[in-house]
């Protein structure tokens, strides 16, 4: 059964309208508390949020719902999504709740749930919660419930965890770096983390006003960071998204290093330390063929999971892999945390750069195949294999490209979009087949 409320990254929408209306949020808190009390002897829940102006109201409604059903609530205030996952895992919380829509604009928001293990709940639990939420959301929510007071000690604990993950041999004293915090959840934590590690930090995107999160800054808008890294003569630039569960990097020269580059750099390091279990890395269907090829030359297998950090994690746990992630910069260091964490990734890459000189040397030999992603607005999401015109276009592309290219068709988990990804040795093939597939989708189910 398709879920009505939960997508690939929790419940996402526009505050004030379903599924982020007051009644649904209050019911979600109540249902989470009821589920936890049925599974545990207590229900202590940690709530955190990013900097969106809608965050406090959403957090207050969820806290009210949780409390009404017998849970106790702690509030971390503004903190990163992986920060909540970390604190839930390290403390006696049965669950964590994050109010964030990640890299989306401020008008959107969302609710992400984490289990005591610091991982997103499995589909089966989300289905149970959803059924209960739908059953109880007709109950009137409280008017203007109070927001719990934020516990500042939680920030300090999370920063202690991150500092403990610096690689042996690292020296960040005087290390000049530029951080673009996207006017989001890392706006205080990021600069404080690296300054206490000895780095010279130039901060961008550090003045949130509730509406400027991800606006022309952060991991979706790297132009400003590229220019600033070059002008500041910095060793490294780091861009986070709104909830800082991902990080992208900029070299001294201004060149961008995405999640594929991070996976290569970390895999090489772990292999050199005899810590790359199974000589395997987990990525997704969106990672570039160039990553797969360069890893293969070094005796490292690239396993591909479906798009979404939960699917990367599932494959890592299944196969015993210690490093995995997405091209978007969402990287999981499983021996440190089961959650993708932009600040943790930044600590690891800054450590490697401090030891090896330049990030370019860490990703040497990585040659990206030409790749394009086309988003097609759709009115419905039937199984793609049931669309004859799309199936014909896909078969033609796969036959022509053979082993020298890839095609990925999928629906967005959070938006009414179909995504077409085509990768090939030659730009002309990328353009030709991406357009033929996009046109087939438009004529079949286009909005």
Active site residue ranges: 102
Phi, psi dihedrals of residue 347, rounded to the nearest 5°: -60, -45
Residues belonging to the chain: 447
- The b-or-e profile of 327-357 (16+ CB within 10 A means b, else e) is bbbbbbbbebbbbbbbbbbbbbbbbbbbeee
How far does CA 328 lie from the centroid of its chain?
8
- Name the pairing type of β-strands 256-257 and 247-250: antiparallel
**DSSP assignments along 73-119, one per residue:** EEEEEE--HHHHHHHHHHTT-SEEEEE--TTS-TT-EEEEEEETTSS
Nearest one of 423, 359, 309, 431 to 7, comparing CA atoms: 309
Q: Is the dihedral of CA 187, 192, 193, 199 positive or negative?
A: positive
Residue found by looking up tokens 């739908």 in the block: 134
Q: Which residues contact 407 (CB under 8 A, 6 or more apart)?
A: 394, 397, 398, 401, 420, 421, 422, 423, 433, 437
For residues 76 and 224, give the distance between their C-alpha atoms in angstroms, rounded to a whole number: 30
C-alpha distances (whole Å) from 344 to each of 99, 238, 336 are: 20, 12, 9
- Residue written as token pair 């000589």: 279
Q: What is the Cα–Cα distance from 215 to 53, expressed in whole angstroms?
A: 14
CA-wise closest residue to 154 among 208, 84, 252: 84
Distance of alpha carbon 84 from alpha carbon 50, whole angstroms: 11
Closest by Cα among 62, 58, 57 to 45:
62
Rg of the chain on CA atoms, in Å: 22
């Amino acid at each position: 059964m398709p879920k009505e409320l939960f997508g690939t990254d929790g419940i996402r929408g526009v505050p004030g309208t379903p599924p982020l209306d007051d009644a649904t949020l209050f019911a979600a808190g109540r249902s989470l508390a009821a589920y936890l009390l049925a599974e545990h002897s207590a229900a202590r829940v940690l709530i955190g949020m990013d900097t969106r102006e809608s965050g406090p109201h959403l957090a207050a409604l969820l806290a009210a719902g949780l409390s009404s059903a017998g849970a106790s609530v702690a509030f971390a205030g503004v903190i990163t999504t992986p920060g909540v996952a970390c604190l839930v895992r390290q403390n006696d919380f049965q669950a964590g709740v994050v109010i964030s829509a990640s890299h989306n604009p401020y008008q959107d928001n969302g609710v992400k749930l984490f289990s005591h293990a610091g991982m997103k709940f499995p589909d089966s639990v989300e289905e149970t919660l959803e059924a209960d939420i739908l059953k109880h959301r007709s109950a009137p929510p409280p008017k203007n419930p109070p927001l719990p007071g934020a516990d500042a000690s939680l920030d300090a604990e999370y920063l202690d965890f991150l500092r403990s993950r610096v690689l042996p041999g690292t020296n960040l004293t005087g290390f000049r770096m530029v951080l673009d915090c996207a006017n989001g959840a890392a706006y205080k934590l990021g600069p404080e983390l690296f300054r206490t590690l000895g780095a010279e930090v130039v901060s961008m995107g550090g003045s949130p006003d509730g509406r400027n999160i991800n606006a022309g800054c952060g991991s979706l808008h790297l132009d400003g960071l590229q220019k600033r890294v070059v002008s500041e003569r910095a060793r490294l630039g780091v861009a986070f998204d709104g909830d800082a569960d991902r990080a992208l990097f900029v070299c001294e020269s201004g060149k961008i290093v995405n999640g594929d580059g991070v996976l290569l750099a970390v895999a090489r390091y772990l292999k050199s330390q005899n810590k790359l279990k199974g000589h395997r890395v987990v990525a997704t269907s969106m990672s570039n063929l160039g990553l797969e090829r360069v890893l293969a030359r070094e005796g490292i297998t690239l396993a591909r999971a479906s798009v979404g950090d939960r699917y990367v994690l599932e494959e890592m746990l299944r196969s015993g892999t210690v490093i995995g992630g997405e091209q978007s910069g969402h990287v999981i260091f499983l021996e440190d945390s089961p959650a993708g964490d932009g600040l943790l990734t930044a600590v690891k890459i800054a450590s490697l750069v401090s030891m090896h000189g330049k990030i370019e040397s860490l990703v040497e030999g990585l040659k990206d195949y030409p790749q394009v992603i086309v988003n097609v607005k759709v009115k419905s999401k039937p199984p793609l294999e049931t669309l004859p015109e799309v199936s014909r276009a896909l078969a033609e592309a796969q036959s022509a490209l053979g082993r020298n290219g890839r095609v990925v068709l999928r629906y967005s988990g959070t938006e009414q979009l179909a995504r077409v990804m085509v990768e090939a040795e030659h730009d002309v093939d990328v353009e030709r087949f991406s357009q033929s597939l996009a046109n087939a989708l438009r004529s079949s189910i286009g909005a």
